[in-house]
């Protein structure tokens, strides 16, 4: 008689083994209809799973965080069934869940077209409407290999053949269609209502360019039509905000094949880039950081000693000199900062010692992964390394967290999620050291009053870390800042300080980045603000223009005055209609447009407009500067419109 314990602590007894679906029915018809899966003793299972002994059970409905992945995984199967229904010669390979959706790879004799996608999606809706029951069965491995070979599914047979012989294989069927899968899946295809196919792309079998090319169909799936429509709207907004398009429109930067993954900065873009550095330099100086700079090219033995060459070597650019000495272009700054720390005898009285660098690093990213400013091979980090004693970890981390959150607010990011990443499977250092580092970091976050979620196994190879995830204007998440506790690398590289008892001690090194990659943060800013950068950061803050050429001399004098106040100014003295000029500079997202006609010149005034089209009336140049200074000082939290 199995006894099932429910989440509220209540128990139900059954005279014989019982399925998850039957337990749900015994609780209520509404719950039975809403059931998507079950969680038996913390293991996700199908509603058809049989409970044979005492167990804890939670019924998974749409309210459960696990529901969406189950829906998406099941929709991937729905896609595969639809494809093979329409194109019987197509072979299926793999179809995993990804962020915001799923994909499935197919081997077929010709490329799928846009018309094919429409037909496939229509067939998916037909199968979903049929509400086919989804059934699971187990099969011995060798039998499963032969089963799929008989179906002509050679890719599936190859996948199964790589599974250990003693491991049973689970198959899922819906109607007369069957696929290899671990599950769990929805009880029936009728649960799949809100989905859309997005695009088709090429993909190599097993991700290896030496293998045959397959066709990957991407789709998205959600719990309901509202969530789906909201997602599609976010995609439309994201397309409008694409930083690559904005970069072209505003003449900020470009990229080209001769330098894959590297940026050609144009004057306006470089102005913003340098503005980011100047801002961070000011913040770091006030927080007690000392700016340093380490070489970009260093002997590979240093990277071997630090552990980077072994763990990260395939992503490093290396070069061998004529005398056969191997050098590496730095993929990160930490070993260089340790070398600076090691120069001279360090005392505990110098700690915490905070080094910051705007260091250019290079990492090899596959060409298919490159994406504008968001994924590059050459980028600049606002990297810092803080050398402390173990007793200082908590206080220094609290200071660091507050600095990060304060900086993000200045850029318009008020929603910041913190993730704690613990030890990864491949790492350096003993478990006892990792225990100490993880405990210290958790204690520090608690002291800072920060809530965090666990990012299991995603720490750096040398230590645990905090990740700071920003939510942008259209609800997307961007991981930017990191804070890492490292009890390994300083010792590996021979860093020491002398304590109060004149004993040599190995410092703890705290790795810190706030922007992360300046290039990527620039791209995030462009998309978050839709190109309308806050006035304090905009490459051009003010454009002056006249109605006729009679105002030119007046505008030139005003421009000189404004430049002397430290503002970034352009004058538009072209013989064009003022409406044309206003529209052009509005499209360039210039924050303020100052217009003068004969009346304004006579009164020594300027007509002030914003890029949003609001007319702020007329004011003197002195009044404009005074009001704008308040906006710049507040980093845009107060504007002239206020």
CATH number of domain containing 560: 3.40.50.800
Same domain, 150 and 274: no
Q: Is 274 a catalytic residue?
A: no
pLDDT digits (tens, 9 = 90+) for 268-309: 999 999 999 999 999 999 999 999 999 999 999 999 998 888
Same domain, 590 and 509: no
Closest CA to 7 of 42, 53, 52: 42
**Catalytic residue (choose from 72, 330, 465, 621):** 465
**Catalytic residue (choose from 179, 382, 383, 486):** 383
Same domain, 521 and 577: no
Give the total number of structural domains in the chain: 4
CATH number at residue 10: 3.10.20.30
Domain final residue, candidates 60, 78, 106? 60
Residue 360 lies in a domain: yes
Same domain, 451 and 598: no
Q: Is 363 a catalytic residue?
A: yes
Spatial CB neighbours of 257, under 8 Å, sequence gap ≥ 6: none
Structure tokens at 138: 């187990």
What are the backbone angles phi and psi of residue 361, rounded to the nearest 5°? -125, 160
Residue 279 lies in a domain: yes
pLDDT digits (tens, 9 = 90+) for 9-23: 999 999 899 999 999
Same domain, 288 and 209: no
Domain final residue, candidates 60, 82, 98? 60
Q: Is 503 a catalytic residue?
A: no
Domain final residue, candidates 477, 506, 528? 528
Same domain, 98 and 180: yes
> How many whole angstroms separate alpha carbon 105 and alpha carbon 530?
34
Q: Can the peptide bond before residue 406 be classed as cis, meaning omega within 30 degrees of 0?
A: no
Residue 260 lies in a domain: no
Long-range contacts (CB closer than 8 Å, 24 or more residues apart) made by 316-321: 316/362, 316/363, 316/364, 317/362, 317/363, 317/364
Kindly report the pTM of this predicted structure: 0.81
**Catalytic residue (choose from 511, 520, 528, 585):** 511
**Catalytic residue (choose from 241, 362, 385, 423):** 385
Residue 533 lies in a domain: no
Residue 431 lies in a domain: yes
Confidence tier at 431 by pLDDT (50, 70, 90): confident
Q: Is 354 a catalytic residue?
A: no
**Catalytic residue (choose from 141, 234, 342, 363):** 363
Given a contact cutoff of 8 angstroms between Cβ atoms, the answer to whether 498 and 342 are in contact is no
pLDDT digits (tens, 9 = 90+) for 90-132: 999 999 999 899 999 999 999 999 999 999 999 999 999 999 9
**Catalytic residue (choose from 381, 484, 541, 588):** 381
Q: Is 511 a catalytic residue?
A: yes
Given a contact cutoff of 8 angstroms between Cβ atoms, the answer to whether 624 and 608 are in contact is yes
Same domain, 366 and 218: no
Q: Is 245 helix (H, G, I), strand (E, B) or coil?
A: helix
pLDDT digits (tens, 9 = 90+) for 73-101: 999 999 999 999 999 999 999 999 998 99
- Give residue 408's pLDDT: 95
CATH number at residue 505: 3.30.930.10
Q: Is 480 a catalytic residue?
A: no
The answer on pLDDT for 641 being more than 80 is no
DSSP assignment of 346-392, as one string? Answer: -BGGG-SEEEEEEEEEE----GGG-BTTTB-SEEEEEEEEEEE-GGG
636 vs 483: which has the higher pLDDT: 483
The answer on pLDDT for 448 being more than 90 is no
The answer on pLDDT for 141 being more than 90 is no
Q: Which residue has the tokens 């499935």?
A: 104
Residue 285 lies in a domain: yes
**Catalytic residue (choose from 334, 346, 399, 588):** 334
- Give residue 449's pLDDT: 86
- Give residue 598's pLDDT: 96
Q: Is 39 a catalytic residue?
A: no
Given a contact cutoff of 8 angstroms between Cβ atoms, the answer to whether 25 and 36 are in contact is no
Residue 215 lies in a domain: yes
pLDDT digits (tens, 9 = 90+) for 298-340: 999 999 998 888 888 889 999 999 998 999 999 999 999 999 9
Structure tokens at 179: 């696929």
pLDDT digits (tens, 9 = 90+) for 388-399: 998 898 899 999
Same domain, 227 and 369: no
Confidence tier at 32 by pLDDT (50, 70, 90): very high
Given a contact cutoff of 8 angstroms between Cβ atoms, the answer to whether 155 and 92 are in contact is yes
Range of the domain at 447: 266-294+333-528
- Give residue 211's pLDDT: 87
Task: Measure CA of the first residue to CA of the last residue in the chain; give whole Å.
Answer: 70
- Give residue 310's pLDDT: 84
């Amino acid at each position: 008689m199995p006894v099932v314990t429910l989440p509220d602590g209540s128990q139900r007894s059954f005279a014989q083994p019982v399925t998850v679906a039957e337990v749900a029915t015994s609780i209520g018809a509404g719950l039975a209809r809403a059931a998507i899966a079950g969680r038996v003793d913390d293991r996700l299972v199908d509603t058809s799973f049989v409970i044979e002994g005492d167990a804890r059970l939670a019924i998974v409905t749409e309210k459960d965080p696990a529901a969406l992945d189950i829906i998406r995984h099941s929709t991937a199967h729905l896609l595969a069934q639809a494809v093979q229904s329409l194109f019987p010669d197509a072979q299926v390979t793999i179809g995993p869940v990804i962020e915001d959706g799923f994909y499935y790879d197919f081997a077929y004799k010709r490329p799928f077209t846009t018309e094919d996608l429409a037909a496939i999606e229509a067939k998916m809706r037909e199968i979903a409407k049929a509400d086919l029951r989804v059934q699971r069965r187990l099969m011995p491995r060798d039998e499963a290999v032969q089963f799929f070979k008989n179906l002509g599914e050679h890719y599936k047979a190859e996948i199964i053949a790589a599974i250990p012989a003693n491991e049973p294989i689970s198959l899922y069927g819906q109607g007369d269609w069957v696929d290899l899968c671990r599950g769990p899946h929805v009880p029936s295809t009728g649960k799949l209502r809100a989905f859309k196919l997005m695009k088709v792309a090429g993909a190599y079998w097993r991700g290896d360019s030496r293998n045959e090319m397959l066709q990957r169909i991407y789709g998205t799936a959600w719990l309901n039509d509202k969530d789906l429509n909201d997602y599609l709207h976010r995609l439309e907004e994201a397309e409008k905000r694409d930083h690559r398009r904005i970069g072209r429109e505003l003449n900020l930067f470009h990229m080209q094949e001769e330098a894959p993954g590297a940026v050609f900065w144009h004057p306006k873009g470089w102005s913003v880039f340098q503005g980011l550095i100047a801002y961070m330099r000011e913040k770091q100086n006030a927080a007690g950081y000392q700016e340093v700079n380490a070489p970009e090219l260093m002997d590979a033995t240093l990277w071997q000693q630090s552990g980077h060459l072994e763990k990260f070597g395939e992503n490093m650019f290396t070069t061998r000199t004529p005398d056969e000495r191997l050098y590496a272009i730095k993929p990160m700054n930490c070993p260089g900062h340790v070398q600076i720390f090691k120069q001279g005898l360090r005392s505990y009285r110098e700690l915490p010692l905070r080094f910051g660098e705007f260091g250019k690093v290079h990492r090899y990213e596959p060409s298919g992964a490159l994406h504008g400013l968001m994924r590059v091979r050459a980028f600049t980090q606002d990297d810092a390394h803080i050398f402390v004693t173990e007793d200082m970890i908590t206080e220094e981390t609290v200071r660091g967290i507050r600095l990060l959150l304060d900086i993000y607010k200045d850029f318009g990011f008020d929603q910041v999620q913190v993730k704690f990443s613990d030890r990864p499977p491949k790492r350096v250092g003993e478990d006892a050291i990792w225990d100490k580092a993880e405990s210290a970091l958790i204690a520090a976050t608690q002291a800072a009053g920060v809530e965090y979620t666990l990012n299991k196994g995603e720490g750096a190879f040398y230590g645990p870390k905090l990740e700071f995830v920003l939510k942008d204007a259209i609800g997307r998440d961007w991981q930017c800042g990191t804070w890492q506790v490292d009890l390994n690398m300083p010792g590996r590289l021979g860093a020491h300080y002398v304590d109060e008892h004149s004993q040599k001690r190995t410092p703890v090194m705290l790795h810190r980045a706030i922007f992360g990659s300046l290039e990527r943060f620039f791209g995030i800013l462009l998309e978050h603000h839709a190109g309308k950068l806050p006035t304090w950061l905009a490459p051009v803050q003010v454009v002056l223009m006249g109605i006729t050429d009679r105002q030119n001399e007046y505008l030139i004098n005003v421009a000189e005055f404004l430049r002397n106040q430290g503002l970034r100014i352009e004058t538009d003295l072209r013989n064009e209609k003022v409406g044309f000029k206003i529209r052009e500079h509005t499209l360039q997202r210039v924050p303020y447009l100052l217009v003068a006609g004969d009346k304004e010149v006579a009164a020594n005034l300027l007509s002030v407009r914003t890029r949003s089209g609001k007319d702020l009336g007329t004011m003197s140049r002195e009044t404009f500067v005074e009001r704008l200074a308040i906006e710049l000082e507040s980093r845009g939290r107060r504007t002239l419109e206020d």
